[in-house]
Structure 1
Amino acid sequence: MKRLWSFLALTRLKFLPLSIFPVVIAASVADRGGSINYGRLFACLFGVVLLHAASNAANDCYDYVLGADKAQTAGRYSGGSGVLPQGLVTVREAKVLFTVLFLSSLGVALWLSLGVSYHPLLWGLGGVFAGLFYTMPPVKLAYRGLGELTVALSFGPGIMMGSFYVLKGYYNAEVLGLSAVVGTLVGFVLVINELKDAETDLAAGKHTLAARLKLRTLR
């Protein structure tokens, strides 16, 4: 049972609602324009949660490998899950976990695309790219100062526009506008969580916004 909880901790369960809310908001707009298919809605929610969990596990894994999470104690909302530094899960096991979750999310996206359009699969592939290469070398977007933008685009337009299309089969300007607000808010949540990790992120070469602001105060 302890091993199971260690794997669940790696997916950062407490943060998964951040990917559920954008789907719900997009669905509420879609429902105003006529009834929606709730089977597709729940499949979309499931796929998005799988993608988010995979991204969290990959982020935890590569932050540990690259040294950002080795020298700090995991907090409630920062510092990673702590299961890798404690040896509760190995790097290889973490890679297997996020690979299975990423592939499962793509399986859902493929199912949503069958007989309709390839767009859901494209959104899914984009999400996998953002989630995997957020910290994975050689791209490691978060280490190059692009982490906050990646998160804002993923949780805003990425999830909301993709979800709306899954439900309605077209895109909507209102959802795009709302997605900018949602993405910005999630980006702010990320920055707040980065504040405690600023020093260790700097030491590991991870140029988050919080780390860059910390560096400016030291100059």
Structure 2
Amino acid sequence: MSTVEGTQRPRRRDAQERRDRLLAAARREFAVSGVDASLERIARDASVAIGTLYRHFPTRLDLLLAALEPRLREFVDGSERALKIEDPWEGFAAYLENLFRVQAGDRGFNDFLSRRFPGNAHTERIHDEMCRQIDDVLTRAQQAGRVRADLRRADIVTLIWSNGRMIDATRTGAPQSWRRQLALMLDAYRAERAHPLPEPPLSEEQAVRRDGTAQH
């Protein structure tokens, strides 16, 4: 082995170790503090300079997506299982339970669900796929007569928003309280419980907020 080869490999190994430490620190910090977590603190916890963080992850979004990858995989795996459930109502309920369970377990993922990141094709694909999944499980359950016919995707997105706020408020005192609220909402979504609603669902325009938060 030449001297150049011998020095390159340790450097690559050192760089990978620094990247791994950054990801571990980012996962901890985003999970606790959300997507606006301090990058300086992440770098400090990983025992690297902030410049090293930016060399590995040029933007906050780059770091966030890399850190959330295990949570996104967990969500996608659970969603695929729910979509394969034969009973339309059980599939609908299982999809929402999986979504809210992952949402409750990570504040960064919770924030990610409620925001869009214009100009980033990867995040747009993720959110668009979630839209399609919600439409699939909802339409199938409605066609089977199990879910009220006037429920719309925007109503589910609004539930995701409100669940996110509740998770933040009960994170330390009652971290499992989301399960009760989901069960209550599922009862409200049953076709046999349907009563006329006083307001229509949010339109696409109404669902987009000025701060960049948007429906899925």
TM-score, length of structure 1 as denominator length? 0.32
Structure label with greater radius of gyration = 2
TM-score, length of structure 2 as denominator length? 0.32
